[in-house]
Structure 1
Amino acid sequence: MLKAQYSERGPVPQAVIEALPFDRPVPAPGQALVAVLAAPINPSDVLMLTGQYGMLPPLPAVGGSEGVGRVIELGPDTKGPAVGQTVLLPVGAGTWATHVLVPAARLVPLPNDADPKQLAMLTVNPPTASLLLSDFVDLQPGDWVMQNGANSGVGSYLVQLAKLRGLKTVNIVRRESAVAGVQAQGGDVVLVDGDDLAERVKAATGGAAIKLGVDAVGGAATMRLAACLAEGATIVNYGALSGEPCSVSPRELVFRDVTLKGFWLARWFGITPQAKQMALLTELAGLIAAGKLSTPIQATYEVGQIKEAIAAAAAGERQGKILIAPTHA
């Protein structure tokens, strides 16, 4: 059994983490031992290694904030998903490991016949995309939504969910090589960011009024996004891929009444009733199991390859997610 653990943080994320062996744990009452099937490496996970994320676990810590597994043992007198059941692991359970010991009551049963690699990404990106589309602007079928960072994990889910809801999307990427991938996901308009973005968006949409802009980049990209939106529109920022603060001019905020808001999924989980959380995750799991919701996967790695996996996840020019997918006999 292996776990990917780090005892310090530093600017090179793969340098601070290593695969360490551990003995098979014995589940106590109320606990379940789960064999991890797949766990993604999200940008937030990399930022935890560098110390730049908004919420950092105490050290030492095992990496990995989400994933799925199969129950292999329950503690004495423990109620929970049966042995052999595919389950969603609790948020922040340290999922970059071959096995995890977790409270059985926090495990969510998932379809056994669905692709565990796609299910592994259920907890973070799909609900983020869904809530960005539903919780800020009252959108109706036929409305346009615009996002940057469209080739990201959240971006790909947003494109697919928007299409399922009858919405049209303008998708902005930062390099030409990312255009085809977003088009393949179903993006209606896909453009490379640039100074003349507003003119190109107007031409591509026929001057449609875009009421919602979703910003994953920050910096000057936020300003370019704002310039494309309708008067009174809302921008929701959920990331800073540029590493820079969001920039929006007084013209957009004052004279065009554009609103800038932020979204953090961890806060939503913290303030939202459990029943509402479960309803959203169940809905999204059903779409994934039915093949209606997916995201590209570039490569999978064993826990023992954690340094290579982190380096791949932190690199640019990726065409999909990086996953830890332990092999089990």
Structure 2
Amino acid sequence: MTTHPPKHARYAYRGPVPHEVIKTVEFTLPPLQPGEARVAVLAAPVNPSDILTLTGEYGLLPPLPAVGGNEGVGRVEEIAGEPNGLEVGDVVLLPVGCGTWSTHLHLPVKTLVPLPHDVDPVQLSMLTVNPPTALLMLSEFVELQPGDWVIQNAANSAVGGYLAQLAKRRGINVINVVRRESAIEAVWAAGGEHVLVDAEDLPKRVRDAVGEVHVRLAVDCVGGVHTEHLARCLAAGGTLVNYGSMSGERCMISPRYFVFNDLTLRGFWLSQWYKRAAAERRRAVFAELAGLVADGTLHARVQDHYSIDHVADAVRAAHAGARSGKIIIEPNGPPRAAI
């Protein structure tokens, strides 16, 4: 049971400067209802989708006022009624979109997924957005086999890192593309190979680096002309999947490339997959990913940790460019000064 007033990061409006709309405030937990558990939130990341939710640009916006945070992990402090296999002290995955930037939450027991106790909760807190995005883009669009080739941009992002790690485990080769020279070292440090800076001559530099390989899948998170740069690296009949627009621009590609090369262009949004996927499939994906985090196969770089009192600073840092890793909020961690 918490001895301090609970706090959460709340916003009553949306605006173009996300750190200005989010405020840390105290709140009162309602009485615990049968079938609910009180969970102390251990860690919650600040994702691009969180930033877009605060600015009003995301594809799914909660009614206002709202609490920030789409994913995280917590520890069960109390259970009312049937425990449904949970125990006090269990580390659990929080349901997507429940407002995880909070010291405490009351949540239905049936929505909580038990996780390993002996794994870094910071790494587990990033389990429900970026790792499944990477895993599903590697498996849902093209039947890749060991030895196949994939090219991705935003390779220094969290999804890019997870995708490279998953591909390596499966024996799939990845060409990693970044937008600035300073990002190359981070991709190398994470175990990535074949790292190139994006430019108009990307297809030529790919050939110079790895030869005339048959690239079957391209994964785009940048948009703009960068979409076409990737498409030009694909073999005839290849597939390009877009899952974001870090450039802030629409995807641009000439029919010369996707028509004459018989390319398939697809979009991917994890929220749609969550709506379609059966509960058994979701549990299987989480179990696989949690196991890979536990054994060290999957790991995301972390730039900074922030307390619940400095959520606005965390959002500002996450919104800034040229980061070296994820921004993590630890609502029940040790007090930390603003960075």
Give your verdict on TM over 0.5.
Answer: yes
Q: 2:16 aligns with which of 7, 11, 22?
A: 11
Q: 2:131 aligns with which of 126, 131, 145?
A: 126
* Aligned-partner Cα distance in 2 for 1:215–1:254: 18
Is 1:279 the counterpart of 2:284? The answer is: yes
For 2:102, the aligned partner's letter is A
Deviations 1:148-195 (A, max 9, x none): 011111000001000000011101101111101111222221011111
* Aligned-partner Cα distance in 1 for 2:245–2:123: 25
For 2:284, the aligned partner's letter is A
- Contact 1:80–1:104 at 8 Å: present in 2 too? no
User: Displacement of 1:76 after TM fit?
Assistant: 3.4
Is 1:304 the counterpart of 2:309? The answer is: yes
Partner SS state of residue 232, structure 2: helix
In structure 1, the partner of 2:116 is: 111
In structure 1, the partner of 2:191 is: 186
Deviations 1:229-287 (A, max 9, x none): 11111000000001111111111121111111000100001001100110011000001
Is 1:59 the counterpart of 2:64? The answer is: yes
In structure 2, the partner of 1:95 is: 100
Listed as ranges, the matches of 1:1-329 within 5 Å are: 1-327=6-332
Partner SS state of residue 287, structure 1: helix
User: Displacement of 1:327 after TM fit?
Assistant: 3.0
For 1:265, the aligned partner's letter is L
Gap regions ≥5 residues in structure 1: none
Q: Which TM-score applies when normalising by structure 2?
A: 0.95
User: Displacement of 1:25 after TM fit?
Assistant: 3.5
* Aligned-partner Cα distance in 1 for 2:32–2:79: 6
* Aligned-partner Cα distance in 1 for 2:257–2:29: 58
Partner SS state of residue 228, structure 1: coil
Partner SS state of residue 259, structure 2: helix
* Aligned-partner Cα distance in 1 for 2:241–2:292: 25
Deviations 1:6-30 (A, max 9, x none): 0100000000010010124431101
- Contact 1:80–1:107 at 8 Å: present in 2 too? no
User: Displacement of 1:80 after TM fit?
Assistant: 4.6
Cα distance change of structure 1 residues 74 and 287 upon mapping to structure 2, 3 Å threshold: same
- Contact 1:31–1:101 at 8 Å: present in 2 too? yes
* Aligned-partner Cα distance in 1 for 2:83–2:234: 53
In structure 1, the partner of 2:3 is: none
Deviations 1:116-151 (A, max 9, x none): 000000000000000000111111101110000111
Cα distance change of structure 1 residues 320 and 273 upon mapping to structure 2, 3 Å threshold: same
* Aligned-partner Cα distance in 2 for 1:313–1:106: 28
- Contact 1:29–1:78 at 8 Å: present in 2 too? no
Count of residues paired in the alignment:
329
Q: Which TM-score applies when normalising by structure 1?
A: 0.98
User: Displacement of 1:77 after TM fit?
Assistant: 4.2
Identity %: 57
* Aligned-partner Cα distance in 1 for 2:151–2:79: 46
- Contact 1:14–1:310 at 8 Å: present in 2 too? yes
In structure 1, the partner of 2:337 is: none
- Contact 2:227–2:252 at 8 Å: present in 1 too? yes
- Contact 1:66–1:120 at 8 Å: present in 2 too? yes
- Contact 1:25–1:33 at 8 Å: present in 2 too? no
- Contact 2:165–2:298 at 8 Å: present in 1 too? yes
- Contact 1:80–1:105 at 8 Å: present in 2 too? no
